[in-house]
Amino acid sequence: MGRQGRRVTLDDVAAESGMSRATVSLVLRGSPLVSDQTRALVQEAIRRCGYVYNRSAANLRAQTSSCVALVINDLANPFFAEFAAGVDETLAERGFVTLLGCTGESVARQRAVLSSMIEHAPAGIILSPAEGSLGKDVGDAVGGVPLLVFNREIDGTWPCLGMDNQLGARLATEHLIALGHRRIAFFGGHRESSSCSQRLAGYLEAMHAAGLEPRPAWRVETAPTRLEAARSAAALFARDPAPTAAVCYNDAVALGLQWGLMTRGIRPGVDFAVVGFDGIPEGEVSVPPLTTIWADPRACGRMAAERILATLGTGDASPDRTISPVRLVVRESCCPPPAKGH
């Protein structure tokens, strides 16, 4: 039933309940125009027929949409997995469904994914851009569909939800300075990414305020992944004087660095201090647990969903930048500098 033969439609329910199609439609949408008795009659008929509402058909007719597209650069990064869970949670509460797309940090795939998404007529799009995204490309792909950019800014006039990157990195750096470090690296990420350059700026701000001059060798660029970071750990020690601590672009990179340090016999939290950025759950169970800038990815996801839904009602797509707060969470991966260099 429901599969073999024709699909059960509104007409079938009308026939079964002895009501008109219009009345059934009213019941389905919870209209107050129908009496309780009629409503009960119709709902009983719906149950008997095994009717399931066809929301796509309704959306087509009413020129509405009940889905929001979520396009993520890297779902394997727990930061984005948490973010996605937050988005989905809030969308579901509001009766929307999440259309998921992953780009794997590829601009070409991002283009294909966005094009595919808009053919399903989403009410809006939440985009965590792939590295190197251009505003023009994104604009071409999404047309006039409301878009919210998350995490990295791209040129264009879209509203954006970001974290307080500069403040966070400054807090991280100040924490290391307070512990006594003077040779502090900024590790990981690519400078083209806005989130990375903002975090770098916060780091520099704190360094300069303390009268410290970062050396070029203390800036190591990597793809924003654990694996790349693990491979690049050695670069920190290529020149003297080597740093005694690192502010990392994000937690994934920080965990990779910790791993890279271990394999070189350098104990994070004992011989070398590490601070991350994001607040992914994995940082709590790493050994040593990771000091980080907590950015509450799940809350960001909920906020992103709220924001995109808000623009729908009002039609207001003001290109505001919302900044989600961050705070320092101190765990064991930070230590004072060793008495002598290693």
The site for DNA (CB under 7 A) is made up of 6-7, 9-11, 18-23, 25-26, 28-29, 33-35, 37-39, 51, 53-54, 57-58, 60-63
Name the binder of 34 from DNA, its own copies, none, CB < 5-8 A by kind: DNA
Would you say 162 and 151 are in contact if contact means Cβ atoms under 8 Å apart?
yes
- Asked whether 234 and 246 are in contact (CB, 8 A), the reply is no
- What does 144 bind: DNA, its own copies, none (CB cut-off 5 to 8 Å by kind)? its own copies
134 binds its own copies (CB under 8 A): no
Task: Indicate whether 262 belongs to the interface with its own copies (CB under 8 A).
Answer: yes
d(CA 224, CA 131): 9
- Can you tell me which residue has the tokens 């903002």? 198
CA dihedral 165, 162, 81, 291 (to 10 degrees): 20
**Inter-residue contact 320 to 303 (CB < 8 Å):** no
User: Tokens 């966070």 identify what position?
Assistant: 168
CB under 8 A: which stretch of 32-40, 83-91, 128-136, 181-189 binds its own copies?
Answer: 83-91
Q: How far apart are CA 158 and CA 182, in angstroms?
A: 40
Q: Which does 105 bind (CB under 5 to 8 A by kind): its own copies, DNA, none?
A: none
Burial class (CB in 10 A: 0-12, 13-18, 19+), 18: exposed
Pick from 154, 125, 162, 191: nearest CA to 278:
162
Of 197, 181, 302, 298, nearest to 245 by C-alpha is: 181
- Least spacing, CB of residue 210 vs its own copies, in Å: 31
Asked whether position 259 contacts its own copies by CB under 8 A, the answer is yes
- Out of 197, 282, 324, 327, the only residue in the binding site for its own copies (CB under 8 A) is 282
Nearest approach in angstroms of CB 326 to its own copies is 20
Among residues 90, 133, 194, 258, the one that binds its own copies under rule CB under 8 A: 258
Contacts with its own copies by CB under 8 A: the residue count is 62
Residues 199 and 203: their CA atoms lie apart, in Å, by 6
Decide whether 36 or 119 has the Cβ nearer to its own copies.
Answer: 119
The yes or no reply on residue 102 touching its own copies (CB under 8 A) is yes
Of the candidate spans 30-38, 79-87, 131-139, 154-162, the one that interacts with its own copies by CB under 8 A turns out to be 79-87
Q: Does 156 bind its own copies (CB under 8 A)?
A: no
Give the residue, chosen from 26, 70, 177, 308, that forms a contact with its own copies under the rule CB under 8 A.
Answer: 70
Alpha carbon distance 96, 93 (integer Å): 7
Query: Which residue from 88, 128, 159, 84 is spatially nearest to 224, judged by alpha carbons?
Result: 128
Determine the Cα–Cα distance for residues 62 and 338; give it in Å rounded to an integer: 68
Residue 239 Cβ vs its own copies, minimum distance, rounded to whole Å:
26
- Residue 253 contacts its own copies per CB under 8 A: no
Nearer to DNA, 29 or 239 (CB): 29
Q: Residue 26: in which H helix or E strand, if any? A: helix 21-28
Nearest residue (CB) to its own copies, 86 versus 162: 86
* Residue ranges that bind its own copies, judged by CB under 8 A: 1-4, 50, 52-57, 59-60, 66-67, 70, 75-76, 78, 81-82, 84-85, 88-89, 92, 95, 97-102, 104, 109, 112-113, 116-121, 143-145, 226, 230, 255-256, 258-259, 262, 281-282, 284-289, 298
